[in-house]
Structure 1
Amino acid sequence: MVYVVLMLAVLLPPWAICNVPTIKWNTNHHHPILYKYYQAGDLIIGGIISQIYMFSRKITFETSPSCELFGDPIQYSASGTCLASMELLSTWGKFLPNYKCDSKNNLVAVTGGPNFDICLYMAAILHTYKIPQFPYGSAPVLNSKTHGDFFYSMFPDWNLQYKGILQLLLLFNWTWIGVLYLNDNNGERFVQDVLPTFLHWGICFDFIRSVPPETFPDDIAEVTEETLKMFTVILGSTGTAVVVHGEIHTMIILRLLLQVPESEDIPMKSKSKVWIMTAQIDLLSFAFQRNWDIQHLHGAISFAVQSKEPLGFWRFLHTRNPTSVKEDNFLRVFWEQAFLCSFLSSTGNSGSPQICTGQEKLEALPMSVFELSMTSHSYSIYNVIYAVAQSLHAMNSFKSRHQGMMATESWKFLNIQPWQLHHILRRISFNNGVEENISFGQNGKSVAGFDIINWVTFPNQSFLRVQVGKMDPNAPPDQMFTTHEDAIAWPSWFNQTQPLSLCNKKCLLGYHKVKKEGRPFCCYDCRRCPQGKISNQENMDGCFQCPEGQYPNNKQDFCIPKKISFLSYEEPLGISLASSALLFSFVIVLMLGTFIKHQDTPIVKANNLTLTYGLLISLLLSFLCIFLFIGQPGKMTCLLRQTVFGIVFSVAVSCVLAKTVIVVLAFIATKPGSRMRNWLGKQLAFSIVFSCSFTQTIICTVWLVIFPPFPDFDTHSMAEEIILECNEGSVIMFYSVLGYMGLLTIISFIMAFLARKLPDSFNEAKFITFSMLVFCSVWLTFIPAYLSAKGKYVVAVEIFSILTSSCGLLGFIFSPKCYIILARPQLNTKEQLMRKKD
């Protein structure tokens, strides 16, 4: 016969802790049997899982007197576990290491746990004999070339659980957390190797504190002292989420921690914590913790190895009692400890005042003492039994075919060596009876995932494990982690709203994070975004510019499309400028008509009628060219705008210059003996106007050919507007046009200024001087105003300068003549013009 050994070096009930190395299951005993019967080539697993559940989940049992119940000390010693491992290699009931004469009890596999150190200690002995070992709790990290080759861990890949914890923290944006870890090899590996990776995902740690591994009553004073220190740390913590990494008995420390406020009458800030526990942790306690409230665990989130409940488990569990299985000594001891009673024949608990009847109901026990549902640890052992049974069945079937075993022959195991199972176990894949496929990966780990469990507690010490998500290693990467956030019951402290676990409040929209000196990067101040930038999400590291064509709103939390802006005829400014241009154009037309009507009068003929008409027409065109600046810029208007303005104004200034030259020459020519009369005439005036205007035309032509202006968008000058404008193409050419026009103006001003004292009868230079003074003043102030203006006001400044300078010429040169023609016709005579100055 063969048997499987369950290593229970630490199986912690909620009311007692014992360290029992082994329990042997043998087909010749009434204890849970490995195989119920073999018939017609089918291997049927009997109803043994319920007792495995009791063994692995609630209590330990050992025939030796070294184990004591009710919270007496247990020894997590390597020597005890090694001793138990060597007993497995001895004859049943006799301790003769490495000597076995019992041919009926053949050891083929061992399952151990739930603590990793037990697996490590038993591996030191059993790996020599190549015996398959199935840790159902957290397994140690072993050398794959020695110990690890014989390990088949029922606990899934550690990294999968750590990824799940990280994804959970990121899902709820818990970036400021506390960490409690058991100070053992697995805990140190978690702190040194795993927690640094959390930093890369923006998660910081308010505290990282180890919990003492010794959790036995002899050390209760030391444990309590350490617990008070931990409570002080947690009390001062501002983080809400606390990750607890440990083994099954870490729950004892956690329950001590949660009991501190009750015993010390301290307002419990730790009520506001969300506990995130690893899959190794389960609900258990010391004997004196049996009746402690578990409400503080409400809303906790834990990971658990994926599990299902076998069909018929509930019914079978309710049929188990000490009277129905009299030979099961373990069940009697469990019964006494669970129901706080004693059997009359019992000596282990004779002091109990209550007598056990054996008919007590398991469902009457608080769930904190005994759970009727199958837990993940129990489910792992269930799968161990199935894996070994399937392997033995496969091996037996193979040998039966090759050794001619008859199907009708009574089934018995052939001489099977444990090492022979490894080849099958590495490749085995089977359905475990609850529609779940079980297999081991190349590294000997169970290819399984984790359930994400939400703890829901009730005042009567009952609780529910509600599955709210899972980590499935076989799913696509984007579906490996799934949760149902709406199904999570949060601690009552948070009024069923998702808690926040941040170092400080989130930065609102329109603000950005600024690092605090001397603090982790999760702690920061919030500052308003700089002018012109926005932040449209909470907790942004920095603000950013709006895209082209948009601008920030007042709160700086989103961008608004900019309005298209240009100087149009629909707005008051455009209307007033256009109306002014039309008005002055009409005035010039009237003046031109007046001069034509009175062209034979002395005052009209006095200073070159052609220049007068040329100047009036150029001023008329200068007023009309304003309409090239108003309205939406187009390709043609941009090409003509500055060039037409420059040429027209050059003609106007050239006419003024010609008038000034003629005035000076006319005065000189009246002197006796002067030969200047030969220079006077229309050819001189035409030459001056043509040469000066032609030069400006050449400049404008070069500009249009090499660097032509074009329509453009200005998105930067105005915060809330996109300016449609004409890009000048070449700033140098633009200022060359203005500079040449300014040069002509200065020359005209100088000549007129020098001729201002000529006799009145011949003098128009005084009026030209004033007009040129206005003209120069306007265009000198135009440059700084043009450079400082923005948007459509740049165009408005230029239009205003054109209007003002044109009005200056019109007013100072032609207004006096119109006044004489219309209001003082008696002065419009040749005698008056020839009158000498007094």
Structure 2
Amino acid sequence: MAAAVVASIAAIVAVAASVVGGTTAQQLPRRETMGKHRINCELMADLVEGKETGLSLAGTSCFSTMKHRAHMDGDVMITGFFPLNTLGIDHSNSHASRHNFHLQFIFKNYQSVLALAFAIEEINKNPDLLHNMTLGFDIYDVEFRTWTMFKNPFTCLFGKYQIPNYSCMRESRSIAVLTGPSGITSDQIGTLLGLYRFPQLTFGPFDHALSDHNKFPALYQMAPKDSSIATAMVSLLLHFSWNWVGLLTSQDENGAWILAELKEEMAKNRVCVAYELMISTQDTSYIFKLMAVYNEINLSSASVLIIYGDNDSLIALMIFIEQIFIHGKVCIVNCQWDFTMKRKYFMLGSLHVPLIFTHHHVEVSGFTDFVKTVKPSKYPEDIFLARLWFLSFNCSDSESDCITWDNCAHDASLDWLPVHVFEMTMSGDSYIIYNAVYAVAQALHEMFLHQREVQTRGNRKQRVPSPEQLHTFLKSIQFYNRTRDQVIWDEKRQLEPEYDILNIWNFPEGLQLEVKVGKFSPYAPHGNQMSLSEDMVEWGIGTTGTPHSVCSESCGPGFRKSPQEEKAACCFDCAPCSENEIANGTDIEQCVKCPDHQYANTQKNQCFLRAASFLAFEDPLGIALACMALCFSMLTAAVLGVFVKYQDTAIVKANNRALSYILLISLIFCFLCSLLFLGRPNAVTCILQQVTFGVVFTVAVSTVLAKTVTVVLAFKATSPGRRMRWLLVSGAPNFIIPICTLIQMTLFGIWLGTSPPFVDTDSHSEHGHIIILCNKGSLTAFYSVLGYLGSLALASFTVAFLARNLPDTFNEAKFLTFSMLVFCSVWLTFLPVYHSAKGKVMVAVEVFSILASSAGLLGCIFAPKCYTILLVPNRNSLYGFRVKDSRRNKHS
């Protein structure tokens, strides 16, 4: 396999080298005609094969001696050097196969000759141009792009010399030279023409090397500069979402320029370069360069390859690509590559998809009809037309030893040829030639008008101008052609070209039909510059849809791009968006955070409005807590009613009726204050929640402390000494309640004056909800209030615990101790649970703690008393307790 590849490479390079490098054709001796209606068969075979014969057709049935050219006589001549033949490999066993290579006629290139003839005939028929002068042309074949092939035409162009097989004994009437499409041809010819200021018009692609006016002072490039080709190609990439492409250019000034333009435009649109290659045909290691290109292109993950160059610089590489290497790639090129001579050896389009950018031009009316009328009898001095006719219409007779005109179809026409062999519509190069001829005519016309103005009355004879004079007028020429397109010489003032996008249809195999699938116009509004019919594009064999060319697959909604280290920007990983962030498009670089009142869905691609969340009365949990608060408050009110009803009993009097009433009333408010925590918070309820809770619980706890102190003072009052008795009789314990409450209210005053509670929202704790809650404002003040309340509870518990075993009738110190133990336990448990809870649960924990601590005080202090009052009333007296004590003493 490797040997086959190397052999193929060698053959390809040999063909390319012969095309580009300049193999010299073998000069054959001149042969004479044999008669009026017949020609020697070997001689005609040489004509068909493209060898120099010195013969041409005259009329429909005879031949005459002529130069190897196409000629139309005129007062002023335009000379053209066109590549009409190329080298091909002959694999047959014929006599011609003794030579490794033979000439092949390029059918498509002959349209350039017809475009020149068509323009000149139009100008000669126009009475408003050139007046009494006519234009003519001489077309010479540039077979091998070598200097030896230019020797005879140049001698005829510049001097009076006897040349074998040519008659040049006359004054040269050539006024301008047309060259192209190869830049090499224009360069070689232009070097000599510039010495004489001989106008040279090139119709090939714009070449930056030819824009040096110091080296080529008389050279005019008719093709517009590809100033928008980079934008057009990148627009095509963006249309198909291709962001991972390779670049291949020729290693010359054009390649360096387009490479910089493409990379800049691609960087603007975030299209990455997978690899960039430059090929030089002058490199001695060219074959190894091709192998390196193979490795780079075929092994790359990029499915798109942009190729910018011309036939001369990249022809071998393009053949190489077609035959061996590129599989399933999309090649975007700047012009159509001519593989006509390789058609019998290569299957064009089967291995890759070509998308070709060509300069857009309008159709020239009348050209197609003109081509249909072209025949050898109409242009007897055009040997190229004669050769095309013989090759196309098989003008031969198997019974005859010679080829005669009589065997050709009389109604034969060029429109009989297939489209891929010969196009009837004007090509891009032909359109440039058409404009070039009109430019010369316009310059001549301006020159003649100028001559008339400066001529004296005695010298009215119109002289044929010199090429150097024409060069002076060509510098500033500017006009509108017959299709109303503006033609401007100065490349700095040239309009940006529009481009047609062509695709090669090769199904059925060998069709090679050029189909226009799109257009790019730099003058269209941004976003509408590219128009493309995707359904008309024929992709590679076996491809079911549009190819992809990306380094990394697109990140869908909900993901962001995460760059890969030390790789191009188009190579990335996809990372999911963070909490409450979304990405609602593809290839998003940064996720967008949802506003606080919205939340991200589970797919992280859309923000939804959050539902307000608070512990409402309608919620099941809210209903349960509200019912508990109301039930406990009514129960407390019932206990208060019992105490009021039995206020004169011993147990009520012994436990200080006034403090019991205050404690019961404060407990009612403790139960009811929990209702302030339910429902939608507002500024008033947020303040009332904390103030009411702090004040009523301070009153309740300070009342328990007062009751505990009262028990201690009552026991101490029975001991000798009057001070304790005076404190008990004077009601000093009752002052504990207002003093403690005043201190708590002072703390609340400072809290409300500095940083009071306010309505706040929490959008992070619950997914899809925005929690409406009361912010404590100053946490220091909040914990100061709780700390003060806790210190009162701790003091009450301590005093009650010390007085639990005092031997006194109706001693409630034990119940007070147990109640404060429950109270402290509830609130110590509350703190960690409260800080770990969120949203509704946090509020529910606070409400439950209020109800639990209040219920603990109610149950532990008043449940035993109510039991005694209601169920064992006989013990609710001093006599009952004394009987019980005496019985206990007897048993002991």
Secondary structure at 2:221 match in 1: coil
Does structure 2 retain, via aligned residues, the 8 Å contact 1:116–1:140? yes
- Within the candidate set 182, 186, 207, 1:115 is matched to 182
Opposite residue 326 of structure 1, the aligned amino acid is P
State whether residues 779 and 801 of structure 1, in contact with CA within 8 Å, keep that contact through their aligned partners in structure 2.
yes
Q: CA deviation at 1:147?
A: 3.9
Moved more, 191-200 or 797-806: 191-200
- Partner deviation per Cα, 1:722-780 (whole Å, 9 max, x = no partner): 11111222111111111111111111111111111112525222111111111111111
Residue 603 of structure 2, aligned match among 555, 579, 589: 555
Aligned equivalents of 2:880, 2:464: Cα separation in 1:
151
Mapped to 2, the partners of 1:783 and 1:7 lie a distance apart of 99
CA distance in 1, matches of 2:180, 2:514: 22
The SS at the match of 1:708 is coil
Matched, 1:273 2:353: no
Checking the alignment, whether the CA contact within 8 Å between 2:809 and 2:881 is kept in structure 1 is yes
Question: Structure 1 residues 527, 36: closer, same or farther in 2, change over 3 A?
Answer: closer
Question: CA separation in 2, counterparts of 1:209 and 1:570?
Answer: 74
Give the secondary-structure state (helix, strand or coil) at the position aligned to 1:673. Answer: coil
Given the superposition, is the C-alpha separation of residues 817 and 192 from structure 1 closer, same or farther in structure 2, using an over 3 Å criterion? same
Closer, same or farther in 2 for the Cα pair 1:732/1:30, shift >3 Å?
A: closer
Deviation string 1:280-306 (CA, Å, 9 cap, x unpaired) is x334332x4247443427853211011
How many angstroms apart in 1 are the aligned matches of 2:160 and 2:626? 116
Partner of 1:317: 371
1:439-450 matches, within 5 Å, as 439-441=488-490, 443=492, 445=494, 447-450=496-499
AA at the equivalent of 2:465: N
SS of 1:719's equivalent in the other structure is: coil
Q: Is the CA contact (8 Å cut-off) linking 1:240 and 1:499 kept in structure 2?
A: yes
Structure 2 letter corresponding to 1:170? L
Report the alpha carbon displacement of residue 809 of structure 1 after superposing the two structures with TM. Answer: 0.8
Question: Contact 2:443 / 2:473 at 8 angstroms: preserved in 1?
Answer: no
Shift of 1:18: 8.6
Match of 2:22 in 1: none
> What corresponds to 1:369 in structure 2?
421
Change (3 A) 1:470 1:783: same
User: Does the aligned pair in 2 maintain the 1:14–1:290 contact within 8 Å?
Assistant: no
The amino acid that maps onto 2:246 is G
Give the % identical residues.
34
One of 262, 270, 276 as aligned partner of 1:202: 270
Give distance in 2, aligned partners of 1:586 and 1:553.
46
Gaps of 5+ in 1: 68-73, 262-269
Matching residue within 142, 146, 166 for 2:214: 146
Per-residue deviation at 1:245?
1.8
Aligned-partner residue type, residue 157 of structure 1:
K
Moved more, 180-189 or 818-827: 180-189
Q: Which residue of structure 2 lines up, in the alignment, with residue 694 of structure 1?
A: 742
CA distance 1:88–1:593, change in 2 (3 Å): farther
Of 229, 233, 236, the match for 1:165: 233
1:259 aligns with 2:313: no
Are 2:696 and 1:648 equivalent residues in the alignment? yes
Larger radius of gyration: 2
Give the TM-score normalised by the residue count of structure 2: 0.78
Q: How does 1:494-513 map to 2 (within 5 A)?
A: 497-513=545-561
The CA distance in 1 between the partners of 2:507 and 2:675, in whole Å, is 84
| Secondary structure of 2:241 counterpart | coil
Counterparts in 2 of 1:669 and 1:31: CA distance versus 1, 3 Å: closer
Match for residue 10 of structure 2? none
Segment drifting more, 590-599 vs 153-162: 153-162
Supply the distance in 2 between the matched residues of 1:140 and 1:343 (Cα, whole angstroms): 47
Q: Quote the offset at 1:562 in angstroms.
A: 2.3
Q: Distance in 2 between matches of 1:472 and 1:30?
A: 31
1:255 touches 1:285 (CA, 8 Å); kept in 2? no
TM-aligned CA distance change 1:341 to 1:766, over 3 Å: farther
1:241 aligns with 2:289: no
Q: Could you tell me how far 1:461 is from its partner in structure 2?
A: 3.4
State yes or no: 1:282 paired with 2:337: yes
C-alpha distance 559-42 of structure 1, shift in aligned 2 (>3 A): same
Q: Is the 8 A contact 2:699 2:741 kept in 1?
A: yes
SS of 1:573's equivalent? Answer: helix
Quick one: distance in 1 between partners of 2:178 and 2:842? Answer: 88
Q: 1:30 to 1:542 in 2, by over 3 A?
A: closer
User: In the alignment, which residue of structure 1 is the partner of 2:14?
Assistant: none
Measure the CA separation in 2 of the matches of 1:363 and 1:202.
47
Q: Do residues 428 (structure 1) and 455 (structure 2) align?
A: no
Shift of 1:130: 4.0
CA deviation string 1:437-466 (max 9, x = no partner): 333455265643222223333316334444
Deviations 1:211-255, CA, capped at 9 Å, x for gaps: 56489xxx9xx9998767655654434322221222135466435
Displacement of 1:325? 1.4
- Whether 1:125 aligns to 2:205 is no
Establish whether residue 137 from structure 1 lines up as the match of residue 204 from structure 2.
Answer: yes
> Contact 1:4–1:34 at 8 Å: present in 2 too?
no
User: Counterpart in 2 of 1:267?
Assistant: none
- CA spacing shift, 1:201–1:45, aligned 2, 3 Å: farther
Q: Is the 8 A contact 1:608 1:659 kept in 2?
A: yes
Q: Is the 8 A contact 2:231 2:265 kept in 1?
A: no
The number of residues matched between the two structures is: 786
Q: Is the 8 A contact 1:471 1:482 kept in 2?
A: yes
Q: Distance in 1 between matches of 2:723 and 2:739?
A: 24
SS of the equivalent of 1:167 reads helix
Q: CA deviation at 1:805?
A: 0.9
For the 8 Å contact 1:155–1:445, the answer to whether it is kept is: no
Does the alignment pair 1:781 with 2:835?
no
- How far did 1:411 drift? 10
> Mean Cα displacement is larger for which, 818-827 or 328-337?
328-337
Secondary structure, in 3 states, of the residue corresponding to 1:372? Answer: coil
CA distance in 2, matches of 1:519, 1:300: 29
The yes-or-no answer on 1:594 pairing with 2:649 is no
Quote the residue 1:266 is aligned against.
none
**Hey, what does 1:303 align to over in structure 2?**
357
Query: TM (normalized to structure 1)?
Result: 0.83
Q: How does 1:508-523 map to 2 (within 5 A)?
A: 508-516=556-564, 519-523=567-571
Q: Contact 2:757 / 2:774 at 8 angstroms: preserved in 1? A: yes
Question: 1:182-197 residue pairs with structure 2 within 5 A?
Answer: 182-191=250-259, 194-195=262-263
Q: What's the secondary structure of 1:443's corresponding residue?
A: coil
Distance 1:762 1:438, change over 3 A: same
* Residue 117 of structure 2 is aligned to residue 61 of structure 1: no
Q: Secondary structure at the match of 2:228?
A: helix
- How far does the alpha carbon of each residue in 1:75-96 deviate from its partner, in whole angstroms, 9 at most, with x for none? 4x5x45886896586137679x
Question: What is the one-letter code of the residue matched to 2:340?
Answer: S
Whole-angstrom distance in 2 between the partners of 1:703 and 1:149: 92
Letter in 1 for 2:308: H
CA 1:124–1:605: 2 relative to 1, 3 Å: farther
- Range moving further from structure 2, 382-391 or 562-571: 382-391
Is it true that 1:772 corresponds to 2:820 in the alignment? yes
State the alpha-carbon separation in 2 of the partners of residues 353 and 793 from structure 1: 107
CA distance in 1, matches of 2:397, 2:799: 136
Distance 2:122 2:387 in 1: 25
CA contact (8 A) 2:656 2:707 kept: yes
Aligned residue number for residue 124 of structure 2: 37
Mapped pair 1:333 → 2:387: yes
Once the two structures are TM-superposed, the CA of residue 808 in structure 1 deviates from its matched residue by 1.0
Q: Conserved in 2, the CA contact under 8 Å of 1:86 and 1:125?
A: no
Q: Please, which moves more after superposition, 167-176 or 515-524?
A: 515-524
List per-residue Cα deviations over 1:343-372 (Å, max 9, x = no partner). Answer: 99xx9xx99999866864433434333222
Mapped to 2, the partners of 1:243 and 1:566 lie a distance apart of 62
> Which aligned pairs between 1:455-470 and structure 2 lie closer than 5 A?
455-459=504-508, 461-470=510-519
Q: 1:485 to 1:367 in 2, by over 3 A?
A: closer
Check conservation: 2:328, 2:352, Cα contact below 8 A: no
- Contact 2:762/2:772 (8 A) holds in 1: yes
How big is the shift at 1:494? 6.7
Q: 1:90 to 1:559 in 2, by over 3 A?
A: same
